[in-house]
Chain A
């Protein structure tokens, strides 16, 4: 158990819909990262927040957005969903930055039908 929790574990929704994925970091970690893992794209970094502020951005689509709240939990919002958004979405947390070990949650499997 990494100490990072993600909800829900599974999510099935239709194209065009909007969903919210939630992540609670390990106690004491201030950074949260979001990743997308799919068969065709592999594991891709989406975005990082540190103590509520966006710090690094990857290939995150404009339909996707994230935020980190004062209690340090984070949410990833996916809107206007397409079939290609079906993937495993991981959240990770670390103390601060790139040099710190990232602890990964178990992931949320999103299926868009």
Chain B
């Protein structure tokens, strides 16, 4: 079965600093990979996704992520963090059910990002 590990439960950065959130997955083939963000009291919002092709994907709000097959990783990055980026970030793996277009998302435990002014 697939699994997702986000090693960092909580990360604190200063506003304007760069950010990297780690995500490692376990799955036999190349899965669908996603990063979601959850602000307090809100539902989740998709930041970016990777299915195939260029291993560096751009998302919304200035985020990007790089898929590294050899490391089974899909780390999220942002060059300069803004105070409004404070939230919880979830990495997720999507695995299709059989030959269908449907399947389930397995989420990591999340990383809480705190931004200091």
Chain A residues with a Cβ under 8 A of chain B = 2, 4, 31, 33, 42-45, 48, 50, 55-58, 90, 92, 96-99, 101-102, 104-107
The 7 listed contacts between A and B (C-beta, < 8 Å) are: A2-B43, A2-B45, A44-B107, A48-B104, A97-B103, A98-B95, A99-B101
New contact pairs (15) apart from A42-B107, A104-B45, CB-CB < 8 Å: A43-B44, A43-B110, A45-B105, A45-B107, A50-B102, A55-B97, A90-B43, A90-B44, A92-B43, A97-B101, A98-B101, A98-B102, A102-B105, A105-B43, A106-B43
- Would B104 and A58 count as touching, CB distance under 8 A? yes
CA gap between A71 and B28 in the complex, in Å: 38
7 smallest beta-carbon distances between A and B, as pairs: A104-B43, A97-B101, A55-B102, A43-B107, A98-B103, A104-B44, A45-B104
Interface string of B87-117 (1 = CB under 8 A from A): 0001000111100111111111110000000
Chain B interface size, as a band, is 20 to 34
CA gap between A96 and B103 in the complex, in Å: 11
Neighbour of A98 across the interface among B45, B90, B96, CB < 8 A: B96
CA gap between A58 and B102 in the complex, in Å: 12
Interface: B42 (CB within 8 A):
yes
Chain B residues with a Cβ under 8 A of chain A = 32, 41-46, 49, 51, 90, 94-97, 100-110
- Would A56 and B103 count as touching, CB distance under 8 A? yes
> Please, which residues of chain B bring their CB within 8 A of the CB of A106?
41-43
Most B CB atoms within 10 A — which of A50, A58, A99? Answer: A99
Give A59's nearest chain B residue, CB to CB: B104
> Please, which residues of chain A bring their CB within 8 A of the CB of B42?
106
Give B41's nearest chain A residue, CB to CB: A106
CA gap between A24 and B49 in the complex, in Å: 24
Give B108's nearest chain A residue, CB to CB: A42
Most A CB atoms within 10 A — which of B96, B105, B106? Answer: B105
Neighbour of A42 across the interface among B49, B100, B109, CB < 8 A: B109
Most B CB atoms within 10 A — which of A4, A55, A58? Answer: A55
- Would A56 and B102 count as touching, CB distance under 8 A? yes
Give B32's nearest chain A residue, CB to CB: A98
Most A CB atoms within 10 A — which of B43, B51, B90, B103? Answer: B43
